[in-house]
Amino acid sequence: MAEREPVIGIDLGTTNSVVAFMQDGTPTVIRNRSSSNLTPSVVALSKTGKLLVGQIAKRQAVINPSDTVYASKRLIGRKFSSPQVQDAIKVLPYGVQAGDHDDIRIAMGEKHYAVPEVAAMVLKELKADAEAFFGQSVRKAVITVPAYFNDGQRQATKDAGRIAGLEVLRIINEPTAAALAYGFGKSVNGKIAVFDLGGGTFDVSVLDVSSGVFDVIATGGDTYLGGEDFDNRIIEWLVFDFAKENGIDLRKDRMALQRLKENAEKAKIELSGSKEAQINLPFIASPAGGGAALHLQRTLTRDKLEELCGDLVAKTISICEQVLIEARVKPSDLKEMVLVGGMTRMPKVVEAVKQFFRRDPCKGVHPDEVVALGAAVQAEALTSSDSEVVLLDVTPQSLGVAVAGGYVRRLIPKNTTVPTSVTEVFNTSKDDQTTVKIMVLQGEAEVAHQNELLGEFILTGLRKARRGEVEIDVTFEINSEGIVSVSAKDRETGLQQSIQVTASGGLTEEELKRILDEQADMLLEARSGEELQGKKSELKALMKEVETLIPQLDKATQGSEFGKDAITKAKSALDAARKAFDAPVLSKVTESIDTLTRTVSLFKGVLERIK
């Protein structure tokens, strides 16, 4: 029998990446050429113009902050104008610019790179590591992404694979991969939950496992919640106090920011094992008027860290609640609880998870490696005819079309097993309408423009008739590769139009809203309900509280740089909250509640310290 071509599984992480393969029926990590299992997802252009990837790139980050790119996964498949990207830019030492279609360009040296190109550099490195291991070329891979990645982010990851010279057999979800690795070769039968808190993203999935069949029942998460956010909270804390004492905002200095980041991460990791960590940054800044260099020296306790990040942990738990409801299971129905991702080493996270799921998480999975191992299991299952593993994966977000009035009509709800297809009948919305526009949307928002636009097309040549008389069949299909295609057919004439969704439209939220408004005949009308009412009064109370806190803080910080910054931010949060209050859409109201809660706790903390 001819030697089978090697296939690999890749966990392309925010912080670190891992590559694995199936060795005689056991998933095994392939070490990189510096004998480490983890390759930092860092890319840099050295001063001599050399491209560096992995540990070597990470090591030189402090002396070369503006040309060292880390956490690019947080940017992949996103729009430049999205609030997440705008927020990220403030704390990223490297240059991020807008491309022609509201896409993102990363600057390294003289050149600008698309995010998939940067991700491809990491993938190329992993591919080369695997090739060095096998002594032959590797072309096929399964790559994992956070379960909550949308179609655009998945497509961008696939593009990265293609640029790196890999045939991406399948993109699979990280928590699913973790479950595959955990359940593979064991006789696990029953429902298991996977809690995956990584460097940049959070996912939770519930699966039903029965002898080799891995059936995902529900999945949820937040693509912008991970270790990076914990680090940023520590950075904010350090920067704030430093600004108060010395009147210097360290974030303005790229090199200082890079050092802060490294030390914040280090302290966070240290606090998983000990109660206290020293943060020591000598010569971090020089005073504006000259004089001796300034040093930053602080002690961070575990309690303080938990206080700074309490809301982040609470958010993961509330997402778990939601997913269990969607899966229609109680914590007691679960057979196992698997923890994945480096952040699950934090004692506070473990404690919160234990309390919510009312059980000890299972031991014996390596939180950093389990995802790559699972990817290898799936790669094997796809390419070998005698594998016993079948993965029944789901679509993590709902798919639908925009309908008159600015709403979404969902055809495929989230957590539907793929492949799947659904057909629904639609009518014309106006008299003598001969053309309909089909706008394909992904997301959970109730109003159309807050969802992601995947693509659009027009069906023309309809018979002139009264509104509602012409019937159009709209069919949504997701094939086993995860590719979405949509078609519309005029029932009378049999005329048909279709698209295959391949890349995101690249529209900003405003553009999308404008386009939808132009086509809408009626005004937006949000659904109201008791939940919304409750949230609205909660929001109102918070708005009042922030309003009273602002003058207090202003007085306390005496017009310092940081104080001003914080107050401007709080004011814009208040503006957003007022808007959310006036145009009540549940998701917006909830979002504002989150922001204001954070503002309040920050302000209170500050006032406490100053007193």
Partner 1 sequence: MSAETIDIPAERQQEILALEAKLKANHFEVLGVTPGASSEQVRDAFHALSRKFHPDRYHGRQLGSFKAKIDTIFKRLVEANNVLTDPDRRQKYLDDNPFVRAAIRSATGTNAAFQPGPAAPKSAEEEARDAERRLRLARHPYLAKVTKIQEHLSKAKAHIAKNEFSHAFSLLNIATQIDPQNVEVKTLLADVRKKNEVQRSETDYKRALEFLNQGNEELALQALRASVNASAANHEAAFKLAALLEKTGGDIKEISSFAQRAVEAAPQKVEYRVLLGRMLEAAGMKSLAKKHFDEALKLGPDHPDVKKHVKKRWPF
My answer on whether omega of the bond before 419 falls inside 30° of 0, hence cis, is yes
Nearer to partner 1, 110 or 530 (CB): 530
Number of residues that bind partner 1 (CB under 8 A): 22
Can 229 be counted among the known catalytic residues?
Answer: no
73 has catalytic annotation: yes
Cβ 13 to partner 1, closest distance in Å? 25
Q: Tell me if 480 sits within 8 A of 419, measured CB to CB.
A: yes
End-to-end CA distance of the chain: 77
Q: Verify whether residue 360 is a known catalytic residue.
A: no
Stretch that binds partner 1, among 212-220, 264-272, 295-303, 352-360 (CB under 8 A): 212-220
Least distance to partner 1, CB of residue 113, Å: 32
Determine the length of the chain.
611
Instruction: List binders of partner 1 among 559-578 (CB under 8 A).
Output: none
Of 88 and 399, which has the nearer Cβ to partner 1? 399
Query: Given the structure tokens 């629904």, which residue do they identify?
Result: 424
Q: What residue has token string 């939950």?
A: 193
Classify 159 as helix, strand or coil: helix
Instruction: Determine the 3-state secondary structure of 414 from DSSP.
Output: coil
Closest approach of Cβ 407 to partner 1, in Å? 17
DSSP 90: H
- Choose the catalytic residue: 73, 79, 191, 513: 73
Span from 95-103, 127-135, 207-215, 401-409 in contact with partner 1 (CB under 8 A): 207-215
Q: Which one of the spans 11-19, 125-133, 147-155, 415-423 is the region binding partner 1 (CB under 8 A)?
A: 415-423
Residue 190, amino acid:
G
Q: Three-class SS string for 488-548?
A: EEECCCCCEEEEECCCCCCCCHHHHHHHHHHHCCCCCCCCCCHHHHHHHHHHHHHHHHHHH
| Interface with partner 1 (CB under 8 A), residue from 417, 435, 460, 500 | 417
- CA dist 590 to 71, 296, 331, 511, 528, Å? 27, 37, 25, 23, 14
Nearest to partner 1 of 299, 479 (CB atom): 479
3-state SS of 15-32 is CEEEEEEEECCEEEECCC
Instruction: Please choose, from the candidates 421, 429, 434, the residue with its C-alpha nearest in 3D space to the C-alpha of residue 479.
Output: 421
Q: Which residues pair with 170 in a beta bridge?
A: 142
Q: Which of 125, 129, 196, 222 is the catalytic position?
A: 196
- Applying CB under 8 A, among 28, 36, 55, 421 the residue interacting with partner 1 is 421
Q: What is the DSSP letter of 481?
A: T
Task: Tell me if 419 contacts partner 1 by CB under 8 A.
Answer: yes
155 backbone dihedrals φ, ψ, rounded to 5°: -60, -40
Pick 208 or 511: Cβ nearer partner 1: 208
**Closer residue to partner 1, CB minimum distance, 328 or 354:** 328
- Sign, CA torsion 508/514/518/521: positive
Contact set for partner 1, span 121-160 (CB under 8 A): none
- Tell me the closest approach of the beta carbon of residue 367 to partner 1, in angstroms: 27
Q: Which is nearer to partner 1, 304 or 409 (CB)?
A: 409
| Catalytic pick among 102, 125, 129, 174 | 174
- Contacts for 338 with CB less than 8 Å, ≥ 6 apart: 178, 179, 182, 192, 193, 194, 195, 361, 362, 365, 370
Question: What phi and psi values does residue 217 have, to the nearest 5 degrees?
Answer: -95, -40
Residues 512-551 that bind partner 1 (CB under 8 A): 530
Written as six digits, the tokens of 46 are 């050295």
d(CA 342, CA 327): 26
Q: Give CA–CA dist 346/188, Å, rounded.
A: 27
Q: How many CB atoms neighbour CB 295 within 10 A? A: 12
- Please select the residue that binds partner 1; options are 98, 132, 293, 325, rule is CB under 8 A: 325
Considering beta carbons, is residue 328 or 466 the nearer one to partner 1? Answer: 328
Q: Which is nearer to partner 1, 100 or 530 (CB)?
A: 530
Residues 95, 109, 212, 605: which binds partner 1 (CB under 8 A)? 212
- Residue range at the interface with partner 1 (CB under 8 A); choices 206-214, 265-273, 444-452, 497-505: 206-214
Q: Per-residue x/- mask for partner 1, residues 375 to 414, rule CB under 8 A?
A: ------xxx------xxx----------------------
Q: Which amino acid is at 593?
A: I
The footprint of partner 1 on residues 33-72 (CB under 8 A) is none
Residue 478: which of 419, 398, 396 has the closest Cα? 419
CA geometry: angle at 249 spanning 247 and 253, to 5°? 135
**C-beta of 408: minimal distance to partner 1 in Å?**
17
Please provide residue 27's backbone torsions phi and psi, each rounded to the nearest 5 degrees. Answer: -70, 130
Q: Which is nearer to partner 1, 480 or 496 (CB)?
A: 480
Is 23 or 417 the residue whose CB approaches partner 1 more closely?
417
Residue numbers 155-194 binding partner 1 by CB under 8 A: 169
Return the residue of 420, 450, 475, 508 that touches partner 1, per CB under 8 A: 420
Site string for partner 1, 470-509 (x = CB under 8 A): ---------xx-----------------------------
* Residue 465, number of CB atoms within 10 A of its CB: 15
In sequence order, the 6+-apart residues with CB closer than 8 A to the CB of 579 are: 588
Catalytic residue status for 11: yes
Question: Least distance (Å) from partner 1 to the CB of residue 568?
Answer: 39
Active site amino acids: 11, 73, 174, 196
> Which residues bind to partner 1, rule: CB under 8 A?
169, 208, 210, 212-213, 215, 325, 328, 381-383, 390-392, 416-417, 419-421, 479-480, 530
